[in-house]
Amino acid sequence: MIYRPFDDLNISIEGNYEANTNKMQYITTESVDNQNYYLLGRIDQKTLGVSMRFTYNINPDLSIQF
């Protein structure tokens, strides 16, 4: 979404969502009687993000963006 309140200023907002599942996530290694056992688990990760950008045009050759 882009909003332009006046000619020299642009405001843009973007959102994103990501879901990841890892059924074999390594957790730790345990040793019992000199034999290694690997502890694995499942991870369900959900990420929500928002990016916002402001662009101010000072003149045709110079702009500030943050």
Give this prediction's pTM: 0.57
CA distance 28 to 41: 10
Tens of pLDDT, residue by residue over 20-59, are 999 999 999 999 999 999 999 999 999 999 999 999 999 9
